[in-house]
Chains A and B, each alone.
Chain A
Amino acid sequence: KAGVTQTPRYLIKTRGQQVTLSCSPISGHRSVSWYQQTPGQGLQFLFEYFSETQRNKGNFPGRFSGRQFSNSRSEMNVSTLELGDSALYLCASSQPRQPGQETQYFGPGTRLLVL
């Protein structure tokens, strides 16, 4: 099975712009989560989607949003970029509590640099 894929892998934007990141989960996985990783704050949960519905949301401002499509692919959007949004954005997919697949599988990440 192919793993979780994320596009683009690297992105450079300037303050005030917006960005959309994409994630394709492992085939058959219906849950997709997003995390932000920075040296200062570590790994922080952004949100989780299942069957096109957001089930969980972390403590991030409304500039961060996401969605999931009927094929389970997910996108996250950050509007009005700030310097502090520079981070590695990781997507993870999983099956909901399927025996033997009880964990999240992470993609390679999108590294975003905001100038």
Chain B
Amino acid sequence: ELKVEQNPLFLSMQEGKNYTIYCNYSTTSDRLYWYRQDPGKSLESLFVLLSNGAVKQEGRSMASLDTKARLSTLHITAAVHDLSATYFCAVDAGSGTYKYIFGTGTRLKVLA
């Protein structure tokens, strides 16, 4: 059974600092997704990583995927308060269909 682990679970950082969220998964998959969730809101798609070595960047965030290591990272550069949210990674276990297994989430708080 596919398991997805994220760390850290909580992250409090000062504005302007860099940090990385890690997402490990237990079985082979080449489809990994990152989502953001603000309190009381739904999930917003951030990155779609579909192959080994995939790297995507958007603003201050960059995500990468290493399928051999079964690891994805979400790196935040020079964080700003607006990035405060909970971030989830999800791995598609559907084998051609959609069945996302989500990580535990990382609650990020950026302090001014």
Contact = CB atoms under 8 A, between A and B. Distances in A.
Interface in B8-61: 31, 33, 35, 41-45, 48, 50
Interface in A91-107: 92, 94, 96-97, 102-107
A85 to B, nearest CB: 19
A105 to B, nearest CB: 7
Interface residues of A, number: 25
A42 B97 contact: no
A31 B97 contact: yes
Nearest to A43: B102
Instruction: Tell me if A's interface is mostly helix, strand, loop or mixed.
Output: strand
Interface residues of B, number: 23
Contacts of A104: 33, 45, 98, 100
B81 interface: no
A48 B105 contact: no
Contacts of B88: 43
